[in-house]
Chain A
């Protein structure tokens, strides 16, 4: 018992004496824990906010009546649902316990702002619906102006009106996707806020909603029902079920809200938080290396002290205990600070999201027990785990070491290490090759990638001597003796150099991995567009996620009529179940398809393509065992089944999709029609500029869609990738910062260790500037080693992922290495190294020459 107390006392006094040494460890743990806490708290907060929001939206609705027929395709869990007949309303009103009934006639509608630009549409839905009079069935409240009474009159949620700079009395265009001229007559609020997060809401008369949003009159997306006093939701739903015809279902308001919550929380938010957790993991991994290194150095520097303790009678366990206790104190204090920091991050993000236009609802900060306990446990575990090996080494200190000169850990790489590293590396490469070429599998390739990473870490000390020698070779010539000294200092302890650089290596590797992956995605898109898009111009609307409304199906014929245009082919979207699985259909004019899109080799023909014909892509055909002439049954959202004959099998599905049917075949089953892309080909001999101007003019009334050349279209398609990369870089910056703190910390400890040497150098004439340069260049060299390793590893991993994804999936993937971006990553790594070396360099230069020479 008293032994433990002694250990603790030793560690506390040692901590107090060497506060500075642990600054780096402290910061690394703090940042890692803060990131993790921030992620968890933010995830909970967002989930809570969305739940509250959907609760509010469905608050007064006790039951929802809707069609039971639904087709869900991958990526859309709510699916496409057949409209329900509003004729049922009378029947529902007579059900006992029903207090109010209202049809919800709803669809997608892209509002155009006063500047001609679309409002919202980048993620959150753009909703248009009939204004529901019952105040409990309608979560929106009129805040200003009046309700729509005549056709063409709409109310907007205040947020959307502000975003589009629209005021009461203004007239604008609503794309449903047919452009509808609307006049704003009122502004609404949602639960006291300006809107349901960033969702844009346009409310119109019931007649307008039926006209523009439903394929035929008398339909509604659903029927909302409110119960009278004393009737529960379940009770109401049961009563409704009794009177509803087959093919129509009733669910409680609660269930309806949960479905919406599930869509956001279950899919989008899980993805979001998983992504953030992965990055927290990377940050913590990098932190582990930095922390381990600090402890290893501190223990090495303290050999004499520990030996003295041992000589005085401290047991091995007490020495280990003292080191671990020291780590625990640092871990607890830093983790606690990290928790606070994480809450701060989450609070800051919550405040920041609305400012940068991120589509998240507001809500109170949700701090769950798990969000506190998990990061705390992880922080302590990482810290103690990192300190374990050094602590055991400290315990092994021989008492005799107290009598010897302080030994600095300058052990090189052992033979075992080379052998183990090489074996692991070969195993990794073998697994990767197997996963990429032999039996394409992401799991196999991923395992190989992890083995490769392990090999890089194990071989680090072996590689560091060669790499530093190589990378530092120009230094001798460029920077003279200070450069040479920097290089040799970096070579002194290959293990330490490698451990320091490894943290940066992992950070840089992940950055380059995403850079390579992003570039490959872009190259793939570019290739897709350039080889599958055969037209001169692409007309599309920028939209993302659940937003936007697509292009009006009337646009294609309007463009085709232009004298400058040779042909115009629009691609529409439909859904149906093919052999039991929901699939997206491409709805178009198949006869003209080949003029606007290059489908590669086609088995069969699009000539004389009839209503009961279907064209299938090669992968789609292989999937279902279809051949030219075989038949396939499609089940549409309205529950009807139709049989199609395969008229053609084509090669490229990138733009045209896997199943192509005629507009006539889709028309009976359609919900809200929209095209996603129109390919326009100019008539021969018409100057491109003139033709483009004509197309732009003709397209403008359809709500200002984007008219782009093939290259511009490819670039826009890749724009989302750049956005994703920017976000990822921002997240990874933290990992890189921690790695750089590690370098700075190691150097500070090294400067401390070399006090006498630095004093001697100063005594024989090294200027402060030269001394600073020497330390800085050492830092740059370590950073260069880490960066070079990271670039190599990241490039390898990027290649593995791209190739494995290509092998495992159907889509051909282009592998691209972006030299410019990787060069930037490299330069940033080196510059950051120089910055990391600044503080240790300044400290070294401040050393008093005499004291340095005289130091024991």
Chain B
């Protein structure tokens, strides 16, 4: 019973995920890497409850996502998941401050002022709180998105190519921000990227190819990731997949058999 995601049927069938079992441990920064079409985005979307699996199961903590209806999935995203997308992360009509508190505001709950204050300092946007997104640079916008993702104290934050639209300096800032937030506040982050430099900021890198898990690499550096990627050969697929089951510890989120 491995996680499978199939798009289309018959001849046009695409197995975006073909039996992946992976866990993302809590309190860690995990990067998902793989060539285009390897299924990394699909894996993330399914793990985050944005998309549903064809078979298999996706869990966040002990919550089985496939058992949730749309409303519960929405509430789960609101309360237990944070998102940073590649672009268009902010609502243009809301100020920076309002964008950060959006999930809390949608929930109608009171926000944790202390946590919010700390976050503002971490992302360093205190003087920009009442600006509109259009008045910020791309890097600043992504930092706001990171702050928003963490604002509701989620169990896990998913980042989909968060630096894809940024120049390398701004990207570096955003990645450092993600990393430092994980380590300082013991949060869980899962990031999809195709950039080895970005992946190097993670605690561990998970490699995907053709919808299968092919390798895991703890404590990555950019060079090692790059080397590993160069090794990628479709024929070796699955060879090193054995033994990469969900970690027995406190799984922050995962897709597993």
Closest to A853 in B: B85
Does A765 reach chain B (CB closer than 8 Å)? yes
Query: Which of A480, A763, A849 has the most C-beta atoms of chain B within 10 angstroms of its own C-beta?
Result: A763
Is A761 a contact partner of B91 (Cβ separation < 8 A)? yes
Count of CB-CB pairs between chains A and B under 8 Å: 73
Query: Nearest chain-B residue to A756 (Cβ)?
Result: B88
> Are B105 and A760 in touch, CB under 8 angstroms?
no
The winner among A481, A761, A762, A849 for most chain B CB atoms within 10 A is A481
Count residues on chain B whose CB falls below 8 Å from chain A CBs.
29
Q: Which residue of B lies closest to A766 (CB)?
A: B106
A769 neighbours in B (Cβ, 8 Å): 71
Asked whether A540 is an interface residue with its Cβ less than 8 Å from the other chain, the reply is no
Contact pattern, A 491-532, Cβ under 8 Å of B = 1, otherwise 0 = 110000000000000000000000000000000000000000
Cβ-defined contact, A489 with B50, below 8 A: no
Closest B residue by C-beta to A758: B91
Cα(A641)–Cα(B88), bound, Å: 92
Question: In the complex, which residues 194-243 of chain B have their Cβ closer than 8 Å to any Cβ of chain A?
Answer: none
Q: How far is the CA of A491 from the CA of B50 in the complex (A)?
A: 30
Q: CA A765 – CA B48 in complex, angstroms?
A: 12
B74 touches A760 (CB 8 A): no
**Are B85 and A481 neighbours in the complex by a CB distance under 8 Å?**
no
- How far, in angstroms, from A489 to B103 measured CA to CA in the complex? 18
A764–B88 touching, CB < 8 Å: no
Chain B CB within 8 A of A202 CB: no
CB <8 Å contact, B78 and A764: yes
Q: Does A757 interact with chain B (Cβ within 8 Å)?
A: yes
A853 to B161, CA, bound (A): 13
How many angstroms between the C-alpha atoms of A495 and B108 in the bound complex? 32
Distance of B97 from chain A, by nearest CB (Å): 12
Q: Report Cα–Cα, A261/B74, bound state, in Å.
A: 71
Q: B83: CB under 8 A from chain A?
A: yes
A645 to B98, CA, bound (A): 86
Contact B91 A760 (CB under 8 A): yes
Chain B window 56-80, contacts with chain A (Cβ cutoff 8 Å), 1 for yes, 0 for no? 0000000000000011001101110
The answer to whether the Cβ of B107 comes within 8 Å of any Cβ in the partner chain is yes
Task: Name B78-109 residues within 8 Å CB distance of A.
Answer: 78-79, 82-83, 85, 88-94, 98, 102-103, 105-108
Q: List chain A residues, Cβ under 8 A from B50.
A: 763, 849-850, 853
Residue of B nearest to A763 (CB): B83
Binary contact readout A39-74 vs B (1 if CB under 8 angstroms, 0 otherwise):
000000000000000000000000000000000000
A sample of 26 inter-chain contacts (CB < 8 A) reads A480-B108, A481-B106, A485-B91, A485-B93, A485-B94, A491-B93, A756-B88, A757-B91, A757-B92, A760-B90, A761-B91, A761-B102, A763-B77, A764-B77, A765-B77, A765-B78, A765-B103, A765-B107, A766-B78, A767-B74, A767-B75, A769-B71, A849-B50, A850-B45, A850-B51, A853-B85
Interface string of B120-140 (1 = CB under 8 A from A): 000000000000000000000
* Complex interface: chain A residues within 8 A of B94 (CB): 484-485, 488
Q: Report the Cα distance A763→B70, complex, angstroms.
A: 11
- B103:A764 contact, CB within 8 angstroms: yes
Q: Write out the residue numbers on chain A whose beta carbons fall within 8 Å of the beta carbon of B51.
A: 850
How far does the alpha carbon of A443 sit from the alpha carbon of B91 in the complex, in Å?
51
Residue numbers in B under 8 Å from A491 (CB-CB): 93
CB-defined contacts of B102 to chain A, threshold 8 Å: 481, 761, 764-765
Question: Which residues of chain A are within 8 angstroms of B88 by Cβ–Cβ distance?
Answer: 756-757, 760, 853
Bound complex: CA of A485 vs CA of B93, how far in Å? 7
The CA of A756 and the CA of B102, in the complex, are separated in Å by 16
For the complex, what is the distance from the CA of A398 to the CA of B135, rounded to whole Å? 25
A236 to B202, CA, bound (A): 114
The answer to whether A762 and B74 have CB atoms under 8 Å apart is: yes
Question: Which interface residue of A491, A761, A849 has the most chain B CB atoms within 10 A?
Answer: A849
B256 at the interface (CB under 8 A from A): no
| Residues from chain B with Cβ under 8 Å of A485 in the complex | 91, 93-94
**B91 to chain A: which residues have CB within 8 Å?**
485, 757, 760-761
The interface centre, meaning the residue of B70, B91, B92 with most chain A CB atoms within 10 A of its CB, is: B91
- The reply to whether the CB of A482 lies closer than 8 angstroms to some CB of chain B is yes
The chain A residue with its CB closest to the CB of B91 is A757
**Is B40 part of the binding interface, using a Cβ–Cβ cutoff of 8 Å?**
no
Q: Using CB atoms, name the residue of chain A closest to B160.
A: A853
Nearest A residue to B149, CB-CB: A764
Q: A768 within 8 Å of B by Cβ?
A: yes
**C-alpha gap A853/B85 in the complex (Å):** 8
- Report whether B71 and A768 are in contact in the complex, using a CB–CB cutoff of 8 Å: yes
Residues of B within 8 A of A482 (CB): 106
* Bitwise interface map of A from 145 to 189 toward B, beta carbon under 8 Å scored 1, else 0: 000000000000000000000000000000000000000000000
B105 in contact with A480 (CB, 8 Å): yes
The interface bits of chain A over 452-481 (1 if a CB of B lies within 8 angstroms of the residue's CB, else 0) are 000000000000000000000000000011
Contact B108 A765 (CB under 8 A): no
List A contacts of B89 (CB < 8 A): 760
Q: Which residues of A contact B78 (CB under 8 A)?
A: 764-767
**Alpha-carbon distance between A765 and B78 when the two chains are bound, in angstroms:** 4
Listed from nearest, the 8 A-B pairs whose CB atoms lie closest are A765-B78, A488-B93, A481-B105, A767-B74, A765-B103, A765-B77, A756-B88, A764-B103
Least CB distance from B186 to A in Å reads 22
Query: A586 at interface (Cβ–Cβ under 8 A)?
Result: no
B85 with A760: CB separation less than 8 A: yes
Which residues of the partner chain A approach B75 to less than 8 Å between Cβ atoms?
765, 767
Chain B contacts for A761, CB-based, 8 A: 91, 102, 106
With a 10 A CB-CB cut-off, give which of B71, B93, B94, B103 has the most chain A CB atoms.
B93
- For B148, give its contact among A484, A764, A768, A853 (CB under 8 Å): A764
Select which of A492, A756, A765 is within 8 A of B93 by beta carbon: A492
Question: Could you tell me the distance between the alpha carbons of A770 and B78 in the complex, rounded to whole angstroms?
Answer: 12
Tell whether A764 pairs with B71 under 8 Å between CB atoms, given A757-B88, A850-B51. Answer: no
Q: How far is the CA of A482 from the CA of B89 in the complex (A)?
A: 17
- A488 contacts across to B, CB distance below 8 A: 93-94
Query: Closest Cβ of chain A: how far from B159's Cβ, in Å?
Result: 12
Complex contacts, A756 vs chain B, CB 8 Å: 88
List residues of chain A with CB within 8 A of the CB of B152: 765
Residue of B nearest to A849 (CB): B50
| B150–chain A nearest beta-carbon distance, Å | 12
Q: Which residues of B contact A765 (CB under 8 A)?
A: 74-75, 77-79, 102-103, 106-107, 152
